[in-house]
Amino acid sequence: QVHLAESGGGSVQTGGSLRLSCEASGNSRSDYPSMAWFRQAPGKEREKVAGIGKLGFLKYADSVRGRFTISKDDANDTLYLQMNNLKPEDTAMYYCAADGRRDAWLHEEQFMYWGQGTQVTVSS
């Protein structure tokens, strides 16, 4: 079992920045080679914002490419999402997710493990 705990959400104005963190604990890091950040706004479908594979390959949603950066610190089992130039449409609950499938970060929407989420609110 993998436990994921997000932090770093908050309220910012348009153009501001936030850095989300996700601390993983439980199974060995090799048991979940794929990690990702998802978000879900009220009344909207969940969206995969960014994914990262074991070797550091990255994938971003078109809506955040160039503004968000996903990264990981394997030594500390922590996943990050640096969010710059935030917009009101970025307002959502952000979730950290992990999966045992090697390519889930690239192809999958249904991940095995999920955090509780952290709220990001961007005001105009």
Give the tens place of pLDDT for each residue, 75-89. Answer: 999 999 999 999 999
HEC-encoded secondary structure of the chain:
CEEEEEECCEEEECCCCEEEEEEEEECCHHHCCEEEEEEECCCCCCEEEEEECCCCCEEECCCCCCCEEEEEEHHHCEEEEEECCCCHHHCEEEEEEEECCCCHHHHCCCCCEECCCEEEEEEC
Mean pLDDT of the chain: 95
Give the tens place of pLDDT for each residue, 8-44. Answer: 999 999 999 999 999 999 877 778 899 999 999 999 9
